């Protein structure tokens, strides 16, 4: 069998084309099998290996296969012999004799063809599966996707594959996504990509097909207490508490309404935004349960009727646009690390200096790493020499944490710096909810969408020394006595009625 195979190969590889074809096909086959074995054994884990073994080698394999018939045609042209004569000279009488379908040669070709098809089918399905892994999406185009990969791995969705959110259900979206992926490969190769990658991402699948596979609106009920600690810029970096009771409820037909009311089955909120950027709303519309439509128009913006106007139905990602690729706000990043105990307030002016160190303008990643270390060491050496000497280890570990914060959030190769990507949840580094909940969007009667401070959350503490200050008995002599009473009652009442 082996010698017959060799004979066959020799017969096929008659000229330059045929020989090259055989070499390319055979060697890419061997390489693929070798890499696949190494991957199965865990010897190779890099996604580049997957890229090569599932994309480059199969392509070479197919190209090689095609070269063989090309070589055969060339031979036929140059020798001017009939196919039967050629077969005989190339493979000998034994193999090619007999009526064609009975010839051994034909059997050989059939078997090899079947083997090739089965092999390519296996490779193809492995390739599709591989392209769906987060490792592939996040690291194959390394520098380009690095920011998304880094933020993803530290997000609540670090176990959710990229395709769960970026590719919807069904064959259509599968093909779309593969075409899109190929286009991305081309644009990465030729450096056509915009840096940073522009948002909003317009070709994201509707949230119904993605987010709602795992989260469904009926699940939202009640309030969610959010306790926020912010540290002052004083010497002790004194903690201040803001505590909100977020009304995440979806509500029901009766009267309880909360934040997820927008995505309840029976409600529909649509809007048009300037240049389709989802930042400045031209108008916002709400379809009410009786089918009537209520429209709020922007007093300050005239609908330009521009061609790029696109009407969008509000869904999860209009608020949760940073569900996974969450970039921190510099001030808040420091607060969080102090709260987690990774940095110590025993270092004087920790908050102030840490923020200064990470937000300074650095030309490159390396410069940033050095700059952060110099900033912190320099500050303590100049102003607190005792501390610089005695707490060297603490300053060093603080520097390491700050460098980590910087690497996580700042990506010079993609032009991503602080606040490049706005976060629409809340209203901290961007208008967020206030894109619609503001005084400019008004209905016919001139009434605006509410922006009352306790509409979306009860406020239980606001930059206070106590995390639940407004739940404590109000001090009649205090300056904010009236506000204290008001917020306390609002919370107690809304807890009773649901809103």
Name which of residues 138 to 157 contact ligand HEC (CB under 6 A).
Answer: 138, 145, 148-149, 152, 156-157
Which residues in the 11-30 window bind ligand HEC by CB under 6 A?
none
- Based on DSSP, count helices (H) and strands (E) in the chain, helices before strands: 18, 8
Q: Which is nearer to ligand HEC, 113 or 158 (CB)?
A: 158
Site string for ligand HEC, 459-488 (x = CB under 6 A): ---x--------------------------
Smallest separation (angstroms) from ligand HEC to the CB of 232: 13
| Dihedrals phi, psi of 364, to nearest 5 degrees | -150, 170
Q: Count of residues for the chain?
A: 499
Which residues in the 40-79 window bind ligand HEC by CB under 6 A?
none
Select the span of 43-51, 104-112, 258-266, 365-373 touching ligand HEC (CB under 6 A): 258-266
- Quote the longest CA-to-CA distance of the chain: 113
What is the spatial distance between Cα 373 and Cα 395, in angstroms, rounded to a whole number? 9
Which of 118, 27, 10 has its CA nearest to residue 71?
Answer: 10
Smallest separation (angstroms) from ligand HEC to the CB of 403: 22
Token pair, residue 496, equals 């009773």
Contact 365, 412 (CB under 8 A): yes
Cβ partners under 8 Å of residue 185, min gap 6: 141
What is the spatial distance between Cα 169 and Cα 488, in angstroms, rounded to a whole number? 47
Contact 305, 401 (CB under 8 A): no
Q: Which is nearer to ligand HEC, 210 or 398 (CB)?
A: 210
- Given candidates 246, 360, 442, 471, which one binds ligand HEC under the rule CB under 6 A? 246
> In this structure, how many other beta carbons lie within 10 angstroms of the beta carbon of residue 101?
8
Element of type H or E holding 354 = helix 350-359
Q: Which is nearer to ligand HEC, 44 or 319 (CB)?
A: 319
Which residues in the 206-235 window bind ligand HEC by CB under 6 A?
207, 210-215, 217, 224, 226, 228
Residue 295 buriedness (CB in 10 A; 0-12 / 13-18 / 19+): middle
What is the spatial distance between Cα 143 and Cα 146, in angstroms, rounded to a whole number? 5
Cβ partners under 8 Å of residue 26, min gap 6: 64
Binding flag, residue 257, ligand HEC (CB under 6 A): yes
Which residues in the 303-342 window bind ligand HEC by CB under 6 A?
314-321, 323-325
Smallest separation (angstroms) from ligand HEC to the CB of 223: 9
Smallest separation (angstroms) from ligand HEC to the CB of 86: 52
Smallest separation (angstroms) from ligand HEC to the CB of 414: 9
Q: Which is nearer to ligand HEC, 65 or 263 (CB)?
A: 263
Q: Which is nearer to ligand HEC, 12 or 145 (CB)?
A: 145
- DSSP 3-state percent helix, strand, coil across the chain (nearest 5): 55, 10, 35
Q: Which is nearer to ligand HEC, 27 or 139 (CB)?
A: 139
Smallest separation (angstroms) from ligand HEC to the CB of 397: 26
- Given candidates 181, 348, 432, 498, which one binds ligand HEC under the rule CB under 6 A? 432
- Given candidates 24, 87, 134, 461, which one binds ligand HEC under the rule CB under 6 A? 134
State which residue has the least CB distance to ligand HEC: 426
Cβ partners under 8 Å of residue 466, min gap 6: 241, 472
- Given candidates 88, 164, 276, 344, which one binds ligand HEC under the rule CB under 6 A? 164
Residue pointed to by tokens 């009625």:
497
Is the peptide bond preceding residue 200 cis, with omega within 30 degrees of 0?
Answer: yes
Contacts by residues 332-339 (CB-CB < 8 Å, ≥ 24 positions apart): 332/230, 332/428, 333/358, 333/405, 333/409, 334/231, 334/358, 334/405, 335/228, 335/229, 335/230, 335/231, 337/401, 337/405, 338/229, 338/231, 338/237, 339/229
Which residues in the 436-455 window bind ligand HEC by CB under 6 A?
436-437, 449, 451-453, 455
Smallest separation (angstroms) from ligand HEC to the CB of 351: 14
Q: Which is nearer to ligand HEC, 426 or 467 (CB)?
A: 426
- Given candidates 18, 58, 64, 258, which one binds ligand HEC under the rule CB under 6 A? 258
Kindly determine how many residues on this chain lie close enough to bind ligand HEC according to the rule CB under 6 A.
76
Smallest separation (angstroms) from ligand HEC to the CB of 276: 11
- Given candidates 204, 387, 442, 483, which one binds ligand HEC under the rule CB under 6 A? 204
Q: Which is nearer to ligand HEC, 194 or 386 (CB)?
A: 194
| Dihedrals phi, psi of 231, to nearest 5 degrees | -100, 140
Smallest separation (angstroms) from ligand HEC to the CB of 281: 6
Torsion of CA 387, 389, 390, 396, to 10 degrees: 90
Which residues in the 278-307 window bind ligand HEC by CB under 6 A?
284, 286, 294
């Amino acid at each position: 069998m082996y010698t017959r195979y060799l004979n066959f190969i020799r017969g096929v590889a008659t000229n330059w084309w045929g020989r090259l074809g055989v070499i390319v096909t055979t060697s890419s086959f061997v390489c693929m099998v070798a890499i696949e074995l190494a991957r199965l054994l865990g010897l190779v884990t890099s996604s580049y290996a997957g890229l090569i073994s599932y994309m480059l080698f199969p392509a070479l394999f197919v190209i090689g296969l095609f070269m063989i018939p090309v070589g055969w045609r060339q031979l036929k042209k140059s020798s001017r012999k009939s196919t039967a004569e050629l077969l005989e000279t190339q493979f000998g009488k034994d193999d090619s004799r007999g009526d064609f379908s009975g010839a051994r040669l034909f059997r050989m070709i059939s078997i090899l063809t079947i083997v090739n098809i089965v092999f390519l089918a296996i490779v193809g399905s492995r390739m599709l599966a591989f392209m769906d892994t987060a490792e592939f999406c996040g690291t194959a185009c390394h520098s380009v996707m690095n920011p998304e990969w880094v933020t993803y791995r530290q997000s609540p969705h670090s176990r959710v594959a990229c395709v769960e959110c970026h590719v919807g259900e069904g064959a259509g979206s599968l093909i779309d996504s593969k075409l899109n992926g190929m286009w991305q490969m081309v644009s990465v190769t030729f450096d056509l990509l915009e840096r940073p990658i522009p948002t909003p991402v317009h070709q994201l699948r509707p949230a119904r097909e993605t987010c709602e596979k795992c989260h469904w609106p009926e699940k939202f009920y009640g309030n969610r207490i959010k306790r926020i600690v912010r540290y002052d810029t004083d010497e002790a970096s004194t903690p201040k508490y803001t505590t909100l009771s977020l009304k995440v409820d979806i509500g029901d037909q009766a009267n309880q309404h909360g934040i997820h009311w927008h995505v309840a089955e029976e409600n529909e909120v649509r809007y048009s935004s300037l240049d389709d950027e989802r930042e400045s709303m031209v108008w916002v519309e709400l379809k009410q349960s009786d089918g009537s439509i209520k429209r709020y128009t922007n007093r300050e913006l005239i609908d330009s009727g521009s061609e790029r106007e696109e009407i969008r139905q509000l869904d999860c990602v209009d608020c949760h646009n940073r569900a996974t690729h969450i970039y921190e706000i510099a001030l808040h990043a420091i607060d969080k690390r102090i709260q987690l105990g990774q940095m110590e307030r025993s270092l004087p002016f920790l908050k102030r200096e840490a923020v200064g160190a990470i937000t300074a303008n650095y030309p490159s990643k390396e410069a940033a790493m050095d700059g952060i270390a110099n900033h912190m060491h320099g500050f303590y050496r100049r102003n607190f020499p005792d501390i610089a000497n005695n707490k060297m280890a603490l300053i060093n570990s603080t520097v390491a944490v700050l460098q980590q914060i910087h690497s996580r959030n700042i990506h010079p190769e993609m032009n991503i710096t602080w606040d490049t990507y706005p976060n629409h949840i809340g209203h901290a580094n961007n208008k967020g909810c206030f894109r619609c909940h503001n005084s400019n969007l008004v209905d016919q009667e001139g009434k605006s969408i509410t922006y009352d401070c306790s509409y979306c959350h009860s406020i239980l503490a606001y930059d206070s020394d106590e995390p639940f200050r407004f739940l404590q008995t109000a001090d009649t002599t205090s300056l904010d006595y009236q506000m204290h009473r008001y917020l306390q009652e609002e919370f107690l009442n809304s807890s009773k009625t649901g809103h």
